[in-house]
């Protein structure tokens, strides 16, 4: 669907969390609560998956990567990755990761994962005013 030649995105699903989660893992782990199963409509549509959080890492010089997965984090297909490089102990920044795909019609499950780049304490930093979320839309 388009409006003046531009895609019109239709909401398929949204999930958010408002509690911090931490990991020292250098391999991707599931962000608890950021999994979303949606039904992809027929018609060879494109799907946009957006993930957001304001991550930080308690270790100086460490960073956080967030990723979108088609299927389970770590064993599904990684669709996209975004990162946050840390240069001080008190910094945090909003991080958006997106993927646009054309899956077959039917049920799909998308997930958000995160990791600590160097093994420090990576945090999602999710709270009520800055929830971490996953949003799935189609055009």
User: By the 8 A CB rule, do 13 and 47 touch?
Assistant: no
Supply the pLDDT for residue 4.
Answer: 66
Structure-block tokens of residue 87: 């240069």
User: By the 8 A CB rule, do 71 and 84 touch?
Assistant: no
- What does the pLDDT profile of the chain (139 residues) look like in tens digits? 556 667 788 999 999 999 999 999 999 999 999 999 999 999 878 999 999 999 988 887 888 999 999 999 999 999 999 987 766 555 667 899 999 999 999 999 999 999 999 999 999 999 999 999 999 999 8
Supply the pLDDT for residue 83.
Answer: 84
User: By the 8 A CB rule, do 80 and 99 touch?
Assistant: yes
* C-alpha count within 13 angstroms, C-beta hemisphere, residue 100: 7
By CB neighbour count within 10 A (0-12 exposed, 13-18 middle, 19+ buried), where does 75 fall?
exposed
Domain boundaries, the chain: 11-138
Supply the pLDDT for residue 89.
Answer: 59
Residue 81: strand, helix, or coil: strand
Alpha helices in 14-133 (DSSP H): none
According to CATH, what is the number of the domain 11-138?
2.60.120.1340
Supply the pLDDT for residue 60.
Answer: 77
pTM: 0.90
């Amino acid at each position: 669907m388009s409006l003046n030649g531009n895609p019109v995105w239709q909401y398929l699903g949204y999930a958010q969390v408002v509690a911090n989660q931490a990991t020292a893992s250098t391999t991707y782990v599931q962000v608890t609560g950021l999994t979303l199963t949606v039904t992809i409509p027929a018609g060879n549509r494109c799907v946009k998956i957006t993930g957001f959080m304001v991550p930080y890492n308690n270790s100086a010089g460490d960073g956080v990567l967030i990723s979108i997965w088609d299927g389970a984090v770590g064993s599904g297909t990684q669709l996209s990755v975004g990162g946050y490089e840390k240069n001080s102990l008190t910094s945090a920044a909003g991080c958006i990761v997106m993927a646009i795909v054309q899956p077959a019609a039917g049920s799909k499950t998308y997930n958000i994962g995160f990791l600590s780049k160097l093994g420090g304490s990576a945090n999602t930093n999710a709270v009520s005013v800055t929830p971490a979320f996953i949003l799935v839309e189609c055009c």
